[in-house]
């Protein structure tokens, strides 16, 4: 009889250990799932921040490019004559574009440089 009661007691102890082990495993599973959810949430948050950062960088780059283009266009507009100015200066421009006029201007500049060199010497 003592042997049977000891066996029953050992079986009860084993069942209690199994039950505790199952409860511990269940708790570990819950903790692991919670940790996995937290990690996934943190990952998604970082991913969203990276997307936002890239979006802001792109907006900034577009804004800077727009400013550069605007300044370039303004500079070109200042450097180029309008149609009215071209019409007013058409005769002068046509004369200036002729090869003999260009040669005459170059000779004149050479004489100026030579005269300046003589004065400086």
> pLDDT tens-digit profile of 59-89?
999 999 999 888 888 777 766 767 777 778 8
Is residue 1, in this structure, part of any structural domain at all? no
Distance CA 116, CA 53 (A): 61
Dihedral sign computed on CA atoms, order 36, 39, 41, 43: negative
Closest-CA residue to 94 (of 83, 104, 85, 86): 86
Q: What is the domain extent for residue 93?
A: 85-121
pLDDT at 9: 82
Is residue 13, in this structure, part of any structural domain at all? no
Is residue 110, in this structure, part of any structural domain at all? yes
pLDDT at 121: 60
| Token representation of residue 7 | 């066996």
pLDDT at 65: 92
Is residue 106, in this structure, part of any structural domain at all? yes
The answer to whether the CB of 93 falls within 8 A of the CB of 86 is yes
Q: How many domains does the chain have?
A: 1
Is residue 24, in this structure, part of any structural domain at all? no
Is residue 28, in this structure, part of any structural domain at all? no
The answer to whether the CB of 86 falls within 8 A of the CB of 96 is no
Is residue 44, in this structure, part of any structural domain at all? no
Contacts of 86 (CB under 8 A, 6+ apart): 93
Contacts of 95 (CB under 8 A, 6+ apart): 101
pLDDT > 90: percent of the chain:
24
Predicted TM-score of the model (pTM)? 0.42
Is residue 56, in this structure, part of any structural domain at all? no
pLDDT at 78: 67
């Amino acid at each position: 009889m003592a042997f049977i009661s000891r066996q029953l007691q050992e079986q009860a102890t084993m069942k209690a250990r199994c039950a505790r082990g199952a409860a511990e495993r269940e708790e570990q599973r819950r903790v692991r799932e919670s940790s996995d959810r937290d990690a996934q949430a943190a990952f998604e948050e970082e991913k969203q921040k990276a997307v936002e950062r890239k979006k802001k960088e792109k907006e900034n780059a577009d804004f800077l490019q727009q400013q550069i283009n605007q300044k370039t266009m303004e500079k070109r507009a200042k450097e180029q004559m309008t149609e009215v100015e071209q019409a007013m200066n058409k005769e002068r421009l046509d004369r200036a574009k002729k090869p003999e006029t260009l040669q005459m201007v170059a000779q004149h500049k050479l004489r100026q440089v030579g005269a300046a060199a003589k004065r400086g010497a």
